[in-house]
Amino acid sequence: MTTKQSHITVPPALFSLKLHDSHRRETVPFIPEDPAHIRLYFCGPTVYDRVHLGNLRSMLSADIMVRLLHALYERVTYVRNITDIDDKIIQRAAENGEDITHLTERTTKDFHQDLTALNILPPTIEPRATHHIPDMLAMIERLITQGHAYEADGHVLFDVTSFPSYGALSGRSLEDMQAGARVEVADYKRHPGDFVLWKPSNATEPGWDSPYGRGRPGWHIECSAMAERYLGESFDIHGGGNDLLFPHHENERAQSLCCHPHSHFARHWLHTGMLLSGGEKMSKSLGNFHTIHEVLERAPAEALRLLFLGAHYRSTLDFTWEKLEEARHIMDRFYRALEKTPATKDDSRPVDVLNALCDDLNTPQALSILHRYADAALEGQQEAANQLLAGGQLLGLFTMSPTEWFQGGTELDPATIDALIEKRLAARKVRDFALADQIRNDLAAQGILLEDGPNGTTWRKG
């Protein structure tokens, strides 16, 4: 897959890109390994179910990052992996009575459909864990040879005490560290924080032959091996949700730097903030757990995208249906501005929007700029409409025309709606206001709102 970007590349020297680096815990200038080739890696989904809104934050942050890098640099390679072997996958397949391959193929397809609907660009490369077992085994062998890993009870484990800076990324001391998510606590570990690189598989579980017996990889080794395969020993940006900071990214960093002690692995670490739902952590037991698919059945994709862009990627975002409706109204206003003053394609660059994004992906600031352009476009200013369109498209918005936004996707045929509008107009001319009101109300009940103006009656989706 290739990542396409329509905006003209601008010289990065004209902009000062700054990013908050989780490792250094401060906002720093972005200094690439090679300005001629920007490389970044974001952790993708574990494919056993529909992707939920919490996952979307990381995917959307990566999308804005990639769009910005494409605007600033000539060549960008973006890798986002698919984890298609994991204990959760094995468990879900068993619960469903479903073949594991069928489950992962089905949920990967769902994942792609959800992100396509949200205009999230595909990665340059999307490796799958099961296609890179030899790469993982080669890395495990190096770690054992270099004294950073050991075999125990059919497992291979990473020795966290062998890496002096273990905990530096997440800011945790080894002494205080407890085993985190997906880390098994077992008596065969030398240290409770040691994590699995390879684990045995029984006869009913998927497995691969290895020098350590038939088994499967641990979670963390997957990303290290795939990042090295496609981006090299050192690359520019590694990102994901802040829930991955520990243990996943901490463990990735440790095993990769132990394999290549003279490398940087990732020069910059980006982590997105937590998503709340109705003021609380999203949970199925609380009834506030929402998948992307569920939300897109109730609201346009661009409204959901705008809602997420309205909060800085590192801040906590609280999703509510009311906020989603507000975002829809904002998109109505933006499209009204482009309807009032249609934009013309030209070579103008949304410099102020670019500057906002160069300030650690400040999407709220970028949206405030779009509001100013919308104000001016509603007053008929052509250049403002051009900048509104160009700036919005840099944010992945405006994927359709105003007509498509206001009238597309209705169950009623547009010709039928137009005929009813004419019938209503005829009724009003003969002062049959009861019939005119009935037509308006019947259309409203089907999600079609009529708007009377000096130039006649128009309609839009409700």
Check the annotation: does 248 bind a ligand.
Answer: yes
Cβ-contact 104, 89 below 8 angstroms = yes
Long-range CB contact pairs, 446-452, < 8 A, 24+: 446/410, 446/411, 446/412, 447/410, 447/411, 448/410, 448/412, 448/417, 450/421, 450/424
Neighbours of 40 (CB within 10 A): 27
The answer to the question of whether 358 is labelled as a binding residue is no
371 assigned binding-site residue = no
Residue 158 burial (CB count, 10 A):
27
Q: CA 349, 116, 311, 12 torsion: positive or negative?
A: negative
| DSSP line for 298-311 | TS-HHHHHHHHHTS
The SS3 call for residue 161 is helix
Specify burial of residue 223 (Cβ count, 10 A radius: 0-12, 13-18, 19+). Answer: buried
For residues 169, 171, 177, 181, the Cα torsion angle rounded to the nearest 10 degrees is -50
Please answer whether residues 53 and 319 qualify as being in contact, where contact means their C-beta atoms are separated by less than 8 angstroms. Answer: yes
Preceding amide of 247 cis, omega within 30: yes
Residues placed in the known binding site: 43, 223, 248, 252, 284
Residues placed in the known binding site for ATP: 284
Residues placed in the known binding site for Zn(2+): 43, 223, 248, 252
